[in-house]
Each structure stands twice: as structure tokens, then as C-alpha cells.
Amino acid sequence: MRFAGRWFSVVVLATVILVTVCSGLSCAAPAASPEPAPVTAPEPVTEPAPAPSPESQANLNPDAPVVLKMSLPSSDTVIGEKRVRSWLNSRIECNVEGADTANLKYSWTSANGTLRAAKGLSLEGGTARAVDWMAPGAGGDYKVNVTVTDGNGNQARGQVNFKVVCCSSE
């Protein structure tokens, strides 16, 4: 039994020494060094592509509206062109400069196809500065005309020439 008591004393003594030494020193695991910031490549600098002309834009994007830029008063007719497929809608917008836009009246005509005022506007009331024209079912050349009149009787005219195709080979 005496032998067992010595081992117990040695283990207790070793534990006391270890605790005493560790409390005076830093026995904790070393602190983790901060992670380096990730390295990112700089954004490539590219030149913006030149804006397409209205004519090429109309041919590249069939959903792009035809915009007639008009001035009041004017004796010139503003012409726009677009190639579309039969039975599809095309948006036509009038941007009028040099006039009080609150007092403008728009009069739209088309011998073929169907004209509808853009949402919230009226063909009958003359407030439709934008319309949707549905192409007829037959291929060919068609025109949509607009006359814009201000409160003083000044007018400007616009016309959109549509080339309607009915097949992909045209």
C-alpha cells in the first residue's frame, strides 16, 4: 500500500507543477494569424459598342419601336422605315419638340393593317402619341401616317413605311 501512496503523491506533484508552469506561461494554442485578403483581378476595361443607327436597329430588333422625331411647325414629313412579318405588332412613337405637349392632337391613318392606341391613350381623342400597328397577313409595302397639331393650328407630319414579309425567305 505504501507503494501505491507514493505514485499518488508523484502524480499529484506533477499535476501541480504542470498547472503552475502553464498558468505563468501561455499554454493556450497559438492564435491563428489573420487570413490574407483574397486577390482579385481588376475588371477589364472595354470600350462601349457604338450605338446602332435607327435603320439598322429596326432591322436587328423587330420589337424596337419606330420613333418619329418631329418639330412644330414643320413642312417636312418625317419618314421612318421598318421590316416586319405579317400579323405582328409594331410600336410607333411620336416625339414632338418645340410645342406644348399637353395640347397636342395626334391623327393616325393606315389603309391596311390595324391601328391601336398604346395603353392609356386614345385614337379617337387624339391623345395617342404612341400606337401599335398590326401588319396585315399579306406581304407588301404599307404606310402608317400621323399628323400632329398643336393648340395654335401648327402641324407636323410623319410617315412610317413598312415592308411586310410573310415568309422567312423574303
The domains of the chain are located at 74-165
Q: For 19-42, write each residue's pLDDT tens digit.
A: 333 444 343 434 444 555 555 444
pTM: 0.59
What is the rounded CA–CA span in Å between residue 164 and residue 142? 7
Q: For 47-95, write each residue's pLDDT tens digit.
A: 544 444 444 334 445 667 888 887 776 777 888 889 999 999 999 999 8
Closest alpha carbon to 77 in 147, 164, 22, 153:
147
What is the rounded CA–CA span in Å between residue 156 and residue 150? 9
Q: Is the pLDDT of residue 123 over 80?
A: yes
Q: Cell numbers 423574303 label which residue?
A: 170
Q: Using 50, 70 and 90 to split pLDDT, how confident is the model at 109?
A: very high
User: Would you state the pLDDT for residue 61?
Assistant: 52
Of 77-86, 107-116, 117-126, least confident by mean pLDDT is 77-86
Q: For 143-163, write each residue's pLDDT tens digit.
A: 999 999 988 888 899 999 999
Percent of the chain clearing pLDDT 70 (strictly above): 59
Q: Cell numbers 401588319 label which residue?
A: 135
Q: Yes or no: say if 131 and 104 are a contact pair by the CB < 8 Å rule.
A: no
Comparison of pLDDT for 88 and 97, the residue scoring more: 88
Q: What are the strands of the beta sheet with 66-71, ordered from one edge?
A: 66-71, 89-97, 130-134, 114-117
Q: Yes or no: say if 121 and 146 are a contact pair by the CB < 8 Å rule.
A: no
User: Would you state the pLDDT for residue 98?
Assistant: 77
User: Would you state the pLDDT for residue 17?
Assistant: 39
What is the rounded CA–CA span in Å between residue 147 and residue 129? 10
> Which CATH number among 3.30.70.890, 3.20.20.30, 2.60.40.10, 2.40.33.20 corresponds to the domain 74-165?
2.60.40.10
101-128 mean pLDDT: 93
